Chain A
């Protein structure tokens, strides 16, 4: 898998969520994603960045451009927060430990092609998503 570029950005404030949306928008447009696909991956990124900030107590996003054999965008959201005890439960629509709708994780999963969560209670969480062109 040819990684063309990889860039990390902080997810520590609410304005960082706006920055994440902008960076993902620019990268997906540059890769030639359709408008609908751009919108899907930006929306997924917005949900995951907010989870990193709110539930993970802040972290970062790594934005990876993949080129060959397939063209795509991979986003890694990483934090050292409390972790997720029960991932299946967290993915269920409507499940929340906060005041949200509980749609972020399950919704983000539906908006991308590949979705992976690695989480250890007490250590942190990494959510990796990929959207192919």
Chain B
């Protein structure tokens, strides 16, 4: 069965969606990511959608589900690289992507994940800068 690869980089999981996904492939990605977060204890998930030419309500719902599930499993999710035309269309479609954190590109997304993880560690162990 066709699958979207999930790469592990330290405490993070990276996914680059490069094909126009049919609905079942999107569902499979959602399940695979959930399993991988719980197996690896990853603290963050970065999903690069810069190749996606459209995001409809189905993909939008998938992104929202991934964000909620990763939150339950104690990981942050950030979606990066949404094309401007896609963003404009999503708003008109009525999809607000509530609860989904976004960043302009992979670098900004990784910064966001790292800062968020640092902040969580600080909250747990106290500030490292004395």
Q: Decide if A111 touches B22 in the complex (CB within 8 Å).
A: no
Interface residue A69 (Cβ < 8 Å from any Cβ of B): no
How many A residues have CB within 8 A of the partner chain?
27
* Interface residue stretch chosen among A12-20, A55-63, A77-85: A12-20
Q: Which bucket holds chain B's interface residue count?
A: 20 to 34
Which residues in chain A, 37-59, are within 8 Å of chain B measured between CB atoms? Answer: 38-40, 42-43, 46-47, 50
Q: Decide if A111 touches B92 in the complex (CB within 8 Å).
A: yes
Chain B 84-119 interface 0/1 with A at a Cβ cutoff of 8 Å (1 = within): 111011001111000000000000000000000000
* Interface residue stretch chosen among B37-45, B54-62, B73-81: B54-62
Interface residue B20 (Cβ < 8 Å from any Cβ of A): yes
Interface residue A21 (Cβ < 8 Å from any Cβ of B): yes
Q: Decide if A17 touches B22 in the complex (CB within 8 Å).
A: yes
Q: Decide if B89 touches A18 in the complex (CB within 8 Å).
A: no
Q: Decide if A15 touches B22 in the complex (CB within 8 Å).
A: yes
* Interface residue stretch chosen among A3-11, A96-104, A118-126: A96-104
Which residues in chain A, 71-123, are within 8 Å of chain B measured between CB atoms? Answer: 93, 100-101, 103-104, 106-108, 110-111
Q: How far is the CB of B41 from chain A (nearest CB, A)?
A: 30
Report Cα–Cα, A22/B61, bound state, in Å.
21
Residues from chain A with Cβ under 8 Å of B92 in the complex: 40, 107, 110-111
Q: Decide if A107 touches B94 in the complex (CB within 8 Å).
A: yes
Q: Decide if B22 touches A14 in the complex (CB within 8 Å).
A: yes
Interface residue B122 (Cβ < 8 Å from any Cβ of A): no
Q: Decide if A50 touches B53 in the complex (CB within 8 Å).
A: no
Q: Decide if B54 touches A100 in the complex (CB within 8 Å).
A: no
Q: Decide if B23 touches A103 in the complex (CB within 8 Å).
A: no
Q: Decide if A50 touches B95 in the complex (CB within 8 Å).
A: no
Residues from chain A with Cβ under 8 Å of B83 in the complex: 39
Residues from chain A with Cβ under 8 Å of B89 in the complex: 36, 39-40, 43, 111
Q: How far is the CB of A36 from chain B (nearest CB, A)?
A: 5
- Beyond A107-B92, A110-B93, 13 additional pairs, beta carbon < 8 A: A14-B23, A17-B23, A21-B20, A22-B20, A38-B85, A39-B89, A42-B53, A42-B54, A46-B58, A47-B57, A47-B93, A107-B95, A111-B93
A residues bordering B, Cβ < 8 Å? 14-15, 17-18, 21-22, 25, 35-36, 38-40, 42-43, 46-47, 50, 93, 100-101, 103-104, 106-108, 110-111
B residues bordering A, Cβ < 8 Å? 20-24, 53-58, 60-61, 83-86, 88-89, 92-95
